[in-house]
Structures are given as C-alpha cells and as structure tokens.
A = this chain, B = another copy of it.
C-alpha cells in the first residue's frame, strides 16, 4: 500500500471512530507497528490527529480528504446530484458549497442557463467553460486537497451576494442539525446560509447519526433535503417532525 493511501485511511478511521488504537491500525492496514507509529507521528505533527498513548484521537481539524471514491456511496451521490440538478431550472441563481456530493450536482448542470456561485475549485473547473453558466467564484484562503476557499476573504465576498438557493453538503446530521469537521469551513458555510433564500441539503444516508466537531445549523434552517433509500425510518421521522421536506432518490 502507498504511503499517502495508508495515511488517508488512518484519517478516515479516526474521523469515523474518534479514536483508534495502534494495534487496530496495524491489523487493518497490514503495516508494521513502526510504520504506523511513524504515520501517527507525522499526522500529529501536521495537526491532523492527536497522539495519545496506545493510539490516536480525532482533533476535528480536517475536512475529510478526498472521499472514499471507490466506496459504494458514490453512486448514491451521483443519483442525489442528478435529482437536485433536475429541480434547478434555467434562470436560477444557485450557490454551491464544496464537497463531493455538490460536485455531482455540478456535473449534472450542463445545458442549463444559470448563475452559479461557488467557493469550490473543483466545481469551478467543471463549470468554467459551460457556455450558458455565469460563474462567480468565491475567493479566499484555498484549503489544500479539497480545494475550497475559506477565511475572511470568502466571508467578505459572501456578504455582498444574494442567491435564490444554496446547495449545502455536510459531514454529519443528527436531530441537532448539521455538522462539519472544520470550524473555518463552518464559519464560511454560515455566511452561505445567510446569503440564500432557500437552503437545500444533500447528504447520503451514511451521514445520518454522525456528528463532527463543529455544529453548522439546526434542522429548522433547512428548506429541503435530498438523500438516498438507505435512510433509516427513525431519521425520516426526525426530519418530518422538524418540518423538513425530504426527497429520497431512486
């Protein structure tokens, strides 16, 4: 296994579980103790995990590195993306948050006449040459890997904009609302919420019941939510009680 690949896997495990023991990592990764130790040392050095005796813990300060591309949730994301795009009509003004699901939304927008605002570099790359799409890019400090613009510059740019709807992604959802793992990101996303009349949330079913470091907003802020068939009944009812219209794709 490649070095970076292994470290990404470590991050994912830690983000999912909050804590992993050294032995658990050795077993799951098939690497030696020394190697895992070195990886943790490195990841601790750049602030992505916090080392503890016998393992490592979550710090909350990292946006999930490029998602589990190979995993099963990609098809769901694609279907969600298609469903959201289908509901967006020509002439609309849409703000697209960063994230793999919103990227799938962007993929399905070709052909429509739209104003699109985004702080995501990958999305901007995708849409910059679409003839009928007027693209406004939110600038700021560019977060490596995920390529989203954050920080005061991004916040300032957003205060001058007003859009019809925002398509928002998140790291986790519970009855408390939406969560993301990075505080800078959440700050920026709050501005996005303020800038939009309607708040659409895209979240595949694996996001439910998961929290992360930073609370973004409560469910009452959400105008509409898109997810897949995997949504558990209890979460469907939670959303219903909160008055959030849910669209379940496929």
Residues of chain A at the chain B interface (Cβ within 8 Å): 2-5, 16-19, 21, 52-55, 57-64, 66, 69-70, 103, 119, 121-126, 128-129, 131, 134-142, 144-147, 149, 152-154, 156-157, 160
Contact = CB atoms under 8 A, between A and B. Distances in A.
A125 B63 contact: yes
A136 B142 CA distance: 6
Contact of A4 (B2, B52, B134): B52
B141 A128 contact: no
Most chain B beta carbons < 10 A, residue from A55, A57, A139: A139
Given A18-B66, A19-B5, A66-B60, A141 B136 contact: yes
Contacts of A142: 124, 128, 135-137
B140 A57 contact: no
A146 to B, nearest CB: 7
A57 B140 CA distance: 25
Nearest to A143: B128
B55 A66 contact: no
Contact of A136 (B18, B61, B139): B139
Given A69-B18, A153-B160, A139 B141 contact: no
A63 B64 CA distance: 22
A241 B80 CA distance: 63
